[in-house]
Amino acid sequence: MSKALYRKYRSKSLDEVIGQKHITDILSRAISQGHVSHAYLLTGPRGVGKTSVARILAHEINGLVYDEETLNLDIIEIDAASNNGVEDVRDLREKVQIAPVSASKKIYIIDEVHMLSKAAFNALLKTLEEPPEHIVFILATTNIEKLPATIISRTQRFSFRPISIDDAVKHLAYIAKQEKIKITDEALNLIAERSDGSFRDSISLLDQLSSLTDDTITAELIENTLGMASLSIIDKLLGAVENRDIDSLVELLNQTFNDGVSSTVLVEQLTSSIRNKIAKKPQLLPLLDNLIDVAKSSQPQLKLLSVLGMAAAPKQPSKTAALLAPVREVSATVAELKKQVIKEEQVIKTTKKPVSKTSISTKIDISAFDWNKLVDYTKQNYIALYSVLVKCGHELIDNTLTLYTNNNFYKNKLDDTKYSPLLHKCLQEVGVYGLDIHTIPTTTPPKDSQAAAITAIMGGGEEVSLEAV
């Protein structure tokens, strides 16, 4: 049976370890000078070489050549994920008293040490603090935050870094050459990027891809295998955002979703692309920040559309921006949302000016006015206008509808050249014509004259109805 590539090309000495020179140089110098600690703690993300360095370090402390196939009785590996109880640690405490069989040190490697129970940590603490002279502990973990401070303080800690893309590409190219695997430079870069700093993941992916084809491994093969969007699609999506082209944006998203690309993978590709371009295009920073929230949504596809659509919306407030704003709960399909955007933009374009009072004087029908009906209608059809109207009080006298907006901000909204004609349009659509609309930036005055006088003396207020219980 053939050996997995990540095992076949595992480092055999500290000098061979790639991407962790800040650690291997210190350890090599300490060993050459005979400065061996009683406990080491190796921390960092998965797949960056913690376990390999632990094994190499154990052999080099004892002056042995590291060979993965050779078993050494004085180097004991313990998986804390399956040996995490207090009884396991008590058994270890008894065994550490036994001298090494043939080496100068008996070395315990405890992998995923954060998995130990609280009682197990307490049992280990004394032994870790004052171990026998012949004992060395090497602890490894991906979750340093789960270790008690008392354990950390009794070790020499070394923090591993994610592998850089350049280092990963060089090593993958070396392995591909040794294994006679044909692969393009673009594909090597894509594997390195998708592995997110993990050497083990990148080599495993190369191993997997090499078994899929006898021909050259290309970026297209990787995209199809991993369910990714093509790099050209990613560039077009960001281009649509920058060009504020919502039609193209919706079409591209439909295409990627229909091709089976998940929103999670698409977000990862978009954030990676933006990160690489951010120095030249800092205007994409707000989009990068909003994309982070997509994975938390219960409807990630629609959330992604909302985030990209908001970034592509015109800078000036518009019905499109209001429709795509993240604060609104999106429940439409992509196609429905696109139709709604087009519909509302057309309404704004066709209602440039308020309806003239004189032009419709023959259609005045004030008796048809119903405030709740008007508010409900805007809620169903013009959500941005509704968000302002629902906060207003109103008063209808003769042909004049007075709106009490409570503050200048909402008054300015309703007086805006977009909202004002839209409000007249809504009145007509619910059967009311010919009203003059006045906006006042205060609360609705009390109907009772005495209450109004008291309100004026107190500097303002709001009428509240109290019903007997």
DSSP 192: H
106 and 251, same domain (yes or no): no
Q: How far apart are CA 316 and CA 436, in angstroms?
A: 27
466 lies in some domain: no
For residues 244 and 200, membership in a common domain is answered with no
Quote the pLDDT of residue 347: 57
> Is 259 within the bounds of a domain?
yes
pLDDT in tens, 203-226: 999 998 988 888 899 988 888 888
Maximum Cα interatomic distance, the chain, rounded to a whole number of Å: 109
CATH number of the domain enclosing 221: 1.10.8.60
Tell me whether residue 371 is in a domain. yes
The residue among 127, 159, 191 that closes a domain is 159
Do the domain assignments include residue 264?
yes
**Which of 10-24, 298-312, 323-337, 444-458 bottoms out in mean pLDDT, i.e. has the lowest?**
323-337
Average pLDDT over residues 332-344: 54
Query: Is pLDDT of 327 > 50?
Result: no
Q: Helix, strand, coil % (nearest 5) of the chain?
A: 55, 10, 35
Task: Report the pLDDT value the prediction gives residue 363, as an integer from 0 to 100.
Answer: 43
Clarify whether residues 207 and 103 are in a common domain.
no
Number of domains making up the chain: 4
Q: Are residues 342 and 302 in the same domain?
A: yes
Q: Note if the pTM is more than 0.75.
A: no
Q: Is the pLDDT of residue 337 over 80?
A: no
> Same structural domain for residues 46 and 33?
yes
Higher pLDDT, 119 or 41: 41
pLDDT at 418: 76
* Lowest-confidence pick of 45-54, 149-158, 408-417, 445-454: 445-454
pLDDT computed for residue 364 by the predictor: 47
pLDDT reading at 2 higher than 70: no
Rounded Cα distance, 182 and 405, in Å: 69
Selected residue with higher pLDDT from 6 and 188: 188
Between these two residues, 339 and 253, which has the higher pLDDT value? Answer: 253
Same domain? For 144 and 170 the reply is: no
Question: Out of 47-56, 100-109, 161-170, 324-333, which region has the weakest mean confidence (pLDDT)?
Answer: 324-333
Q: Are residues 318 and 378 part of one domain?
A: no
> Does the pLDDT of residue 454 top 60, yes or no?
no
Least confident piece of the model among 245-254, 357-366, 381-390, 414-423: 357-366
The last residue of one of the domains, among 294, 324, 350, is: 350
Quick one: 384 and 435 in the same domain?
Answer: yes
Select from 65, 49, 73 the least CA-distant residue to 13.
65
CATH number, domain containing residue 45: 3.40.50.300
Query: Both 107 and 214 in a single domain?
Result: no
Residue 55, in any domain of the structure? yes
387 lies in the same domain as 341? no
The residue out of 297, 331, 350 marking a domain boundary is 350
Q: What is the pLDDT of residues 314-323, one digit of tens each?
A: 665 544 444 4
The pLDDT confidence band at residue 159, using thresholds 50, 70 and 90, is very high
Residue 245 has pLDDT above 50, yes or no: yes
Domain, as residue range, for 17:
5-159
Residue 88: what pLDDT? 80
> Is the per-residue pLDDT at 450 higher than 60?
no
Strands (DSSP E) found in 118-180 = 135-141, 156-159
The CA distances from residue 146 to 110, 112, 118, 223, 341, in Å, are 15, 11, 10, 36, 49
Q: According to the model, what pLDDT value does residue 335 have?
A: 53
- Summarize the confidence of residues 413-422 as an average pLDDT: 82
Whether 438 is in a domain gets the answer yes
Does 87 lie in the same domain as 44? yes
Chain mean pLDDT for the chain? 81
CATH number for the domain spanning 420: value is 3.30.300.180
Q: Is the pLDDT of residue 173 over 70?
A: yes
pLDDT recorded at residue 183:
93
Helix pair 231-242, 263-277: axis angle to 10 deg? 70
| Within a domain: 469 | no
Q: Please report whether residue 467 resides in a domain.
A: no
Task: Name the pLDDT band for 430 (thresholds 50, 70, 90).
Answer: confident
Query: 134 and 269: one domain?
Result: no
Encode pLDDT of 119-157 as tens digits. Answer: 888 888 888 888 889 999 999 999 999 999 989 999 999
Element holding 122 (H helix, E strand): helix 118-129
* pLDDT score of 41: 95
Query: Which residue intervals of 131-262 are DSSP H helices?
Result: 149-152, 165-178, 185-194, 199-210, 219-226, 231-242, 246-258
